[in-house]
Amino acid sequence: PTPTPAPSYAIAFAPVAANQNDTVTVPTGYTVDVLLKAGDSVEAGTAYSGSFPTPADAEKWAGGNHDGMEYFALSGTDANVGGLLAINHEYPDVNILFSGSYDAATATADQKALALSAVGISVVEVAKGSDGKWAVKAGSTFNKRYTGNSSYRAGGPAAGQLSGTIKGMLNNCASGRTPWDTYLTCEESTDNYLDPTQPEQNYGWVVEIDPYQELAAPTKRTAMGRFAHENAAYMADSDRRTAFYMGDDATPGCIYKFVPDRAYSASNRAANTELLDYGTLYVARFNADGTGEWRALVQGQNGLLPGASDPGNVSQSTTPPTPVIVDFNSQADVLINTKAAARVAGGTVMDRPEWLTVAPDNSAVYCTLTNNSGRQVADAANPRTRNLHGHIIKFKEQNDSPLATSFTWEIFLLAGDPSLASGGANLVGDINGDTFSSPDGIRIDPQGRLWVQTDHSVPGNSGVTGTTIDQAFGHNAMFYVDQTSKQSKRFLVGPLGCEVTGLAYTPDLKTFFVNIQHPTGNWPVAGEVARSSTVVITRTDDQPVGN
């Protein structure tokens, strides 16, 4: 692929050093403030203050494990100083809900309700005060929770397979948005770990939610497939045709795109309400020669027939698994069994695809492949067996078009660190500058600057005996990576035990919103249990972040 254009804004921050401090570290001249903690009030009511909630209280609190996030402008408000934040909650911050751990098999009805209240999303109106500090606007009519206890509708070819009223969303991991300003929250689990009485196929979908509460009720868009969804990043062309790029964070999983049949309307939001119910889902096949194909997951095509043979997870063992026969009698069958359909159609099984991001000029798409320690069979796109530290792949659609059925690709970088050389070159990687393991969040901002966030497991395996993963890389962090030179600069380091995930910003890029998920120390409030939180990053001289 040809290089993407240089960012319009220079990168001029002084990188921060790797550290293991129980705080959020940002460069000199930057400020970090906590905006929304798990248990803070979203809808009017109580907030966590050291004691456990009733299920009714918790249903109005910010949920736990903040993850993907998008910022939306409000009509009549300068978006640089106020707007809506939609924030995913991947799973509960259990320690503010009830004592002990959570076990679905033995949980009481109240514990189940509490746990389900803490997944889903929060929508909050946020504004920058005269003191320059951002805060949630208490009492805003936009402030709303959508939880694991709420009801959802379904659209698309598999909608009839789901029960009439669908209870809950689960594992709202990463996210995306549409050009018509709806929020896409993605269920990373296909299993109902909270309520075994619910049909399993309720989960594992992309859910479209209008943060303005104007359009259709929250809807599971079945045409986009059912798998362990990470995010959904769109590409749009000048004819308002789109593609939504999606990863299946599984060991291993495939990379997908969904292409709606119709162009979206830029002038009439309501005309887009069913746009995501009609279109073609494709899986990516990465050929060894640097070319790639999008194979349609359409019943009757690419082997998606009754009696199809699913080759299974061919990357995880040098002994090929026994193929499993899967019947694809309808498009609903294809969508409910998307993972198997993708393998039957020849999709490449990747090292846990997490987030994707699209360059503003459509000239590149990036996908993080976070790690896959169990890979035993390498291929060109997943070149390392026992891939402990992950890599980032870059691809370029034919004619930079969202409608393309072919692309070219390259490995953008291999994560790792030279300090791990005694464990073999496989652990070293080729990052130019500040190194990291397990890339997860990735986003190119409107100025063309590529940001990468990490999620190495703590405690985790560095690959070298006697060296912990935090010793090798510091705490999980966020990096700027130059798309041409591949120079990496560490921008932010998270507190103990956390992952860093989710990035949103105001249009002037003077405010960045970042999520700190599952901290385990004493952050963000000294003397309290750690809580997942959204933080706000600004500059003391009020200039764009990173510039």
Between CA 516 and CA 171 the distance in angstroms is 16
Determine if 381 is a binding residue for ligand FEO (CB under 6 A). Answer: no
Determine if 233 is a binding residue for ligand FEO (CB under 6 A). Answer: no
Determine if 187 is a binding residue for ligand FEO (CB under 6 A). Answer: no
By the 8 A CB rule, do 89 and 64 touch?
yes
User: Read out DSSP for 302-343?
Assistant: TT-STTEEE---TTS-SSPPPPEEE---SHHHHHHTHHHHHH
Q: Which is nearer to Ca ion, 149 or 476 (CB)?
A: 476
Between CA 299 and CA 129 the distance in angstroms is 54
Question: Residue 104 is encoded by which pair of tokens?
Answer: 């679905």
Piece of 122-130, 261-269, 426-434, 451-459 that binds Ca ion (CB under 5 A): 451-459
Between CA 95 and CA 423 the distance in angstroms is 37
Tokens 């891939």 map to which residue? 387
Least distance CB 539 / ligand FEO (angstroms) = 29
Determine if 22 is a binding residue for ligand FEO (CB under 6 A). Answer: no
Least distance CB 190 / Ca ion (angstroms) = 16
Helix (H) or strand (E) holding 292: strand 291-296
Piece of 14-22, 201-209, 447-455, 508-516 that binds Ca ion (CB under 5 A): 447-455
Which residue in 22, 40, 70, 90 binds ligand FEO (CB under 6 A)?
A: 90
Least distance CB 249 / ligand FEO (angstroms) = 3
Which residue in 249, 277, 293, 434 binds ligand FEO (CB under 6 A)?
A: 249
Secondary structure of 437-487 as H, E, C letters: CCEEEEEECCCCCEEEEECCCCCCECCCCCCEHHHHHCCCEEEEECCCCCE
By the 8 A CB rule, do 392 and 272 touch?
no
Partner whose binding site includes residue 188, from Ca ion, ligand FEO, none (CB under 5 to 8 Å by kind): ligand FEO
Determine if 442 is a binding residue for ligand FEO (CB under 6 A). Answer: no
Partner whose binding site includes residue 400, from Ca ion, ligand FEO, none (CB under 5 to 8 Å by kind): none
Determine if 356 is a binding residue for ligand FEO (CB under 6 A). Answer: no
For residue 194, what are the CA distances in angstroms to 98, 150, 517?
A: 15, 14, 21
Least distance CB 189 / ligand FEO (angstroms) = 9
Beta strand 144-146 with 120-128: parallel, antiparallel or unpaired? antiparallel
Q: Which is nearer to ligand FEO, 88 or 242 (CB)?
A: 88
Which residue in 294, 455, 506, 510 binds Ca ion (CB under 5 A)?
A: 455
What is the per-residue binding string for Ca ion in 339-358, x denoting contact by CB under 5 A? ---------------x----
Between CA 375 and CA 377 the distance in angstroms is 6
Q: Which is nearer to Ca ion, 210 or 248 (CB)?
A: 248
Which residue in 22, 40, 187, 188 binds ligand FEO (CB under 6 A)?
A: 188
Q: Which is nearer to ligand FEO, 354 or 417 (CB)?
A: 354
Q: Which is nearer to Ca ion, 13 or 245 (CB)?
A: 245
Determine if 400 is a binding residue for ligand FEO (CB under 6 A). Answer: no
Terminal-residue alpha carbon distance, the chain:
27
Partner whose binding site includes residue 417, from Ca ion, ligand FEO, none (CB under 5 to 8 Å by kind): none
User: Phi and psi (nearest 5°) for 529?
Assistant: -65, 150
User: Phi and psi (nearest 5°) for 372?
Assistant: -165, 80
Between CA 13 and CA 27 the distance in angstroms is 7
Task: Return the DSSP state at 99.
Answer: S
Determine if 354 is a binding residue for ligand FEO (CB under 6 A). Answer: yes
Determine if 254 is a binding residue for ligand FEO (CB under 6 A). Answer: no
Give residues in contact with ligand FEO (CB under 6 A).
Answer: 90, 173, 188, 230, 249, 354
Give residues in contact with Ca ion (CB under 5 A).
Answer: 354, 440, 455
